[in-house]
Structure 1
C-alpha cells in the first residue's frame, strides 16, 4: 500500500511517519513545503497543497491519503491564510484524488469545529459552531468531503478531530506551559479548577490513526480523539511541576490574572509579537474543552499511554531538548 501524507514534515506527521516506518508495511510519500527533520524511508516531495498540479503529480499511484497539512496559530495569522491553506488546499488535494481515483482518506480535522462550548463534545451530537478562523476553516474542509461523497458514494473518509496535541517536537500550548513552569514565573488560576481540558498525546494519536486505517469503510465517519484521564489545567500543571520536582504553584483569582495580563496585550499590540501571556490565553486557560472519545474506544482502540504518562514523557523530553527549537 502506498500512502500519500500531506504535511508529513510537521509535528504530527513526523511522528506518524516514524510509526509507519517502524511497521515497514507501507510505501510513504511525504508531501510538504518544509523539509523533514528526521531521516526515514519516506519519499519526500517538496510542494504546496494549494498548487493543484504539484499535488496531482506527487500523489500518482497512491492508494490512501492522510491529510495533515494545515495552517494554525492561536492569534497572529491573517484570517485569509487559514482559508487559503485549510480550505482551498484541501480542495486541491481532493481534486487530485478524484483524478487519480483515490477513494480512501483520513482527514485531520480539529475539536475547534465545535467552537467554545462548555458541554462535552460528541460526534454528530454536539452542534458545530466554530468561533475562530481555524475552526471555521477546518469545518469548511470537512464539508468539501461531504460534497465529494454526494458525487461518489464509493469514497471512504475518516475525519479525525483531536483535542490539543502535544509531545516530542511540539512547541505549542503544552510546551509553553511546561516552559513557563520551568521558568518559575508561573501561577495557577483558581477558576481553572472547575474546567476540564481534553489533551492528546501524539504517540496515542498516531497509533489511533493507524488503527482507523485498518477499520475504514465506505462513507464518512467522524472520530474525536483525546486521552484520559481528563484533567483541569491546575491538575495538568501540578503533574508538570511534580515531574520537575517543583512545589505546586500559587493559585490566584481569575480577576487578578486577567488584570495582570492586560499590560502584555498592550506590549503585544505595540510590538506585533506573540507574547506567551495575554488576556486571551487567560480566558482559554479557564475555559472547559471536553472532547468525548468513546466512539473510537467502542471500535476497539486502546491507547498506550495515559494523559498523565504523556505529560511526563513530554517533560522528560523538554529537560534534554529545551532551547533546541
Structure 2
C-alpha cells in the first residue's frame, strides 16, 4: 500500500509513519516544519525512518504542493498536519489556523475527487465538542467548540463529509482525545510537567485540577488510525479515546509516583478555550474499527518520562513557558 502522511515529522505522524513502514508499506511523508517548535525536534522524530528506502520525505507546506500530481489511484491518505494549540488560536493567529486547518484540507479533498483513493483519514480532535453536557461524548453529541482551534478542526470535518457525500471521496474523521507519549510536543501539558520535574521547577495548573480528561497513549491512537484506513465507513466520524476519565490532580499524583518525588504545583485561573471535561464514548470505534485502547495512564506516563529524561540528560529537551 502506498500511503501519504501529512504532518509526518510531528508527534503522532512520526509514530504512524514508523508503524506503516514496519508493516511494509511505502510512505510519502509531508511536513512543513512550522515554527511552532524547533525544527531539530521534528528532525529527531524522523531519524529512525530517514534512511528507509520505502520512505520519501517532502519538506513543504500543503498549500504549496501540486496535489493532483501527488495523489494516485489506490493511495491511502492520512491527513494529520494541522496548526495545533487551543490557547494560541485567538486573535490575529486565527488566520494561520484557517489556512493550515481549513484551506489546506479543502485543497487536498478537491484534488482527491475522481482519484480512486482507498481511504482519506482525517485527524480531528475532541476540541470540537466544547463544554457539552453529554459525558461520555458521543459522535452524535451537539458540537459547540469553545476555542477558535476547535472551530477550524470542526470545519475541516465538515469538508470531509461534504466531499464524501458529493464526490464519494472515502473520508473518515477521527476525533483524538488528549494524546500523550514519547515525542509529545514541548508545549503540551505532560511534556511541560515532566520537564519541570527534571529541572526542579514548579508547574502551573489552570483551574482547580478537578477538570477531567480522557488521556490517550500515542500507540493506541496510531492503532486506531491504521484501523480506520482499512475498516469503518466512509463519511463517518469516530472517537478515539484512552478508555478512562481521570482528573488532572490524579495525573499529578501518578507523575509523582513515576518520577519519585512530589510535584510543586501552583494553581491559576482558567484559560480561554480550555474545556472542563472530556471523555470519549468509543463504542462506534470498537464496533467498526475493533478499537480497544490497551495502555494505562501510568504505563504511558512512565514511557513518556523515560523518553524525556533521556532527552534532558543529553541536553535535547526544549522548555516552553
Within 2, Cα distance between the matches of 1:82 and 1:11?
18
Is the Cα–Cα contact under 8 Å of residues 86 and 148 in structure 2 kept in the other structure?
no
CA shift for structure 1 position 235 = 0.9
Other-structure match for 2:146: 131
Q: Note closer, same or farther for the CA distance 1:103–1:298 as it changes in structure 2 (3 Å cut).
A: closer
Aligned mates of 1:115, 1:23 — CA distance in 2:
36
Task: State the shift of 1:163 in Å.
Answer: 1.3
Q: Tell me, yes or no, if structure 1 residue 296 matches structure 2 residue 285.
A: yes
For 1:102, the equivalent position in structure 2 comes to 117
8 A Cα contact 1:45 1:58, kept in partner: no
Structure 2 vs 1, CA of residues 92 and 121 (structure 1 numbering), >3 Å: closer, same or farther? Answer: farther
Instruction: Tell me how far apart the structure 1 counterparts of residues 47 and 206 of structure 2 sit (CA, whole Å).
Output: 38
C-alpha distance after superposition, 1:94-119 (max 9, x if no partner): 11211533252110011111113354
In structure 2, the CA distance between the partners of 1:320 and 1:97, relative to structure 1 (3 Å rule), is: same
The aligned runs of 1:147-166 (5 Å cut-off) are: 147-152=162-167, 154-166=168-180
Question: Does the 8 Å CA contact 1:198/1:226 hold for their aligned counterparts?
Answer: yes
Deviation of 1:184 (Å): 4.1
Root mean square deviation of aligned Cα: 2.5
Output the TM-score relative to the length of structure 2: 0.83
Q: For 1:53-87, what per-residue CA distance to the aligned partner results, in whole angstroms no more than 9, with x for missing partners?
A: 52332334551111111101233351111111100
| Aligned counterparts of 2:298 and 2:282: Cα–Cα separation in 1 | 17
Tell me the distance in 1 between the aligned counterparts of 2:87 and 2:209: 21
User: Could you tell me which residue of structure 2 aligns to residue 115 of structure 1?
Assistant: 130
Q: Displacement, 1:160?
A: 0.6
d(CA) in 1 for partners of 2:189, 2:207? 19
Equivalent in the alignment of 2:305: 315
- 8 Å CA contact 2:7–2:29 kept in 1: the answer is yes
Stretches of structure 1 that go unaligned for 5 or more consecutive residues are 262-278
Q: Whose helix fraction is larger, Structure 1's or Structure 2's?
A: 1
Report if aligned partners of 2:4, 2:78 keep a CA contact under 8 Å in 1. Answer: yes
Preserved CA contact (<8 Å) 1:118 1:288: no
* 1:187-241 per-position Cα deviation (integer Å, ceiling 9, x unaligned): 7789433x32111111111011112223134x31111111133211111111111
Verify: 1:38 aligned to 2:47, yes or no. yes
Aligned to 1:274: none
Unaligned runs of 5+ residues in structure 2 are 34-41
* Greater Cα offset, 57-66 or 219-228: 57-66
In structure 2, the partner of 1:271 is none
1:220 equivalent among 232, 235, 238 = 235
- 1:102 and 1:314 map into 2 onto residues whose CA distance is 35
Offset at 1:27? 1.2
Please give the secondary structure, in 1, of the residue aligned with 2:277.
coil
> Which of residues 69, 72, 76 is equivalent to 2:88?
76
Query: Structure 1 residue 125: deviation in Å?
Result: 2.7
Q: How far apart are residue 137 of structure 1 and its match?
A: 0.4
TM-score normalised per structure 1: 0.82
Deviation of 1:185 after TM superposition, in Å, equals 1.4
